[in-house]
Structure 1
Amino acid sequence: MEQFNQEFERYQRAQKQVEEIKGFYGHLLSYVLVMLFLMFINLRYSPQYLWFFWPMLGWGIGLLFHGLKAFNYTPFLGKEWEQRKIKEFMDQEKQNKYE
C-alpha cells in the first residue's frame, strides 16, 4: 500500500511538472506573437523611435523566470537549498535539545 501511495505522489508531481511546462510554452507563444505585432506597429507607424524593445525586455524577464521555474532550474533558492536548510535547522534543534 505504501508503494502505491509513493507511486501516486510521484505521478502527481510529474503531472504538475508537465502542466508547468505546458503553461510556459503557451506563455512563450503569446510572447512571440505579441512582440511580432508590436514590432509591426512600431516599424510601420513610428520607425524613428524603436519603442518595442521596452515591452520585449520587461516581458522577456518575466518569461525567463517562468521558464526557470517550469524547468526546475532554481540555482539560488531551489529544492537543494531547502533540504540543506531543513537539515541545518533540525541539527541545530537537536543540538540545543541535548545541551
Structure 2
Amino acid sequence: MEYQEDKYARARARVAALRKFYGKLGSFLLFGIIFLGFNYYSNGLRYPWFLWIIGFWGLGIVIEAFKLFGTDLFLGRNWEQRKIREQMEKENRNSQNWF
C-alpha cells in the first residue's frame, strides 16, 4: 500500500510543478504583450527595450522547461525506439499494398 501512496505523491508533485510552470508561461506571455505596448507607446519601438526583458525572462522559462521536461521535450527517452517502430509499421503497410 505504501508503494501506491508514493506513486500518488510523486504524481501530485509533478502536476503541481506543471501547474506552476504553465502559470509562469502565461505570465511571461501576458507581461510580454504589456511590455511591448509600453515600449510602443513610449518611443514607437525606436529602441525596443522590452526585448531585453523578454529575452532574459524567456531564457528563464526555457531553463524551467528543461528542468521540468528534460530532454523529453524534443526527442524524448524512447524517441529512437518509437521511430524505428513507426518505420517498420510503415514498411509493413507498404508491402501489404503491393499484393
TM-score, with structure 2 as normaliser: 0.67
Hey, what's the Cα distance between the residues in 2 that align with 1:17 and 1:69? 12
Structure 2 counterpart SS, 1:66: helix
TM-superposed deviation, 1:49:
0.6
Pairing partner for 2:27 from 6, 12, 30: 30
Aligned counterpart, 2:67: 69
* Structure 2 residue 5 is matched with structure 1 residue 8: yes
Q: Which amino acid aligns with 1:53?
A: L
Match of 2:55 among 54, 57, 63: 57
| RMSD between aligned residues | 1.4
Instruction: Give the ranges of 4+ consecutive aligned residues of structure 1 lying more than 4 Å apart after TM superposition.
Output: none
Secondary structure of 2:18 counterpart: helix
Runs of 5+ unmatched residues, structure 2: 73-99
What is the match of residue 41 of structure 1? 38
Fraction of identical pairs, as percent: 30
TM-score between the two structures when normalised by the length of structure 1 = 0.67
Q: Paired residues, what number? A: 71
Structure number with greater CO (CA < 8 Å, separation at least 6) is 1
CA offsets per residue over residues 3-48 of structure 1, 9 Å max, x none?
x111110110011000000000000010011110000011111121
- Judging by fraction of residues, say which structure has more helix: 2
List gaps (5 residues or longer) in structure 1.
Answer: 76-99
